Amino acid sequence: MNMRILCCICPGIIILPGTASAWWVKGHEAIATAAASRVPDEVPSFFRAGAKALGYLSGDPDRWKNRDAKFLRAFEGPDHYIDLENWQGKDLPPDRYKALALVGQLGEKPDTAGMLPYAIMEHFDRLTCAFYDYRQDSQNEAVKIKCIVYAGVLSHYTGDTAMPLHTTREFDGKKGLDGRLMQKGIHAKIDAFPEKQGFTWEEIGRELEAREITDVWSHVVKTIKESHEHVGLCYELDAAGAIENPTDKSREFIMKRCRVGAQFTMDLYYTAWKRSATFKPPY
């Protein structure tokens, strides 16, 4: 598989083929913890109490891209991004396999198209099923554990969505007129920003309130497209040196992206809980 090639070396992290991540692990953790901590009181208290564990688990999808886990790594990579340009303006089908068929028709491959919205929807469904099981057996500790696990994993992909460079084929540099890649390394610099600047889950989650989403698929696609609108600003701030040497503007921008990630995550948590009340028995 012709996975993304990122060969930029930053303090504390080496980005290798197929391992592009959105936010360093502490950034993902802060976003996920903020989301779980701010869900409404109608969501069972064990969920908020598990926010820190959930935050840790948000890093697992990146841990699954271990170079020694070759089968998992090959499958996992495209779930972390979607290069919207490579979908050539086509509507995204609400089904992974129909999407893969479209990718083939467009002359693309899963790793040049990306499967991010499908990863989000599939993990959202897993969390909803787990919440359904909790409603049936609220004293079962195993059910509580799986709710936390599935929510943690889901939060990784929703956090990825908020990082604009996970929505574009220009994820780590743009080609200049001479064909050379300009601003290579931008991805890692933005990924590192929340952790290096000490963004906390309390700051990210401040005053956020959960909203129930009626059409989850449409909301996921809309959120991805909104994130894509900020690709240009990422490059503008990097070119000005404001990512490596933060300014008020760059800090405000990255904080806002983290808060968008937390809001998106929390809304899906809350919607999964509400939706679980209408689920029918699986068997």
Is the residue at 224 inside a domain? yes
Is the residue at 239 inside a domain? yes
Number of structural domains, the chain? 1
Is the residue at 14 inside a domain? no
Is the residue at 78 inside a domain? yes
Encoded tokens for 91: 């509507």
Is the residue at 11 inside a domain? no
* Residue-by-residue pLDDT tens, the chain, 283 positions: 433 433 333 333 333 334 456 788 999 999 999 999 999 999 999 999 999 999 999 999 999 999 999 999 999 999 999 999 999 999 999 999 999 999 999 999 999 999 999 999 999 999 999 999 999 999 999 999 999 999 999 999 999 999 999 999 999 999 988 989 999 999 999 999 999 999 999 999 999 999 999 999 999 999 999 999 999 999 999 999 999 999 999 999 999 999 999 999 999 999 999 999 999 999 8
- 155-175 burial code (b ≥16 CB/10 A, e <16): bbbbbbbbbbbbbbbbbbbee
Q: Which domain holds residue 261?
A: 21-276
Please check whether residue 268 is in contact with residue 260, taking contact to mean a CB–CB distance below 8 angstroms: no
Is the residue at 282 inside a domain? no
User: Which CATH number belongs to the domain containing residue 118 in this structure?
Assistant: 1.10.575
Is the residue at 2 inside a domain? no
Is the residue at 132 inside a domain? yes
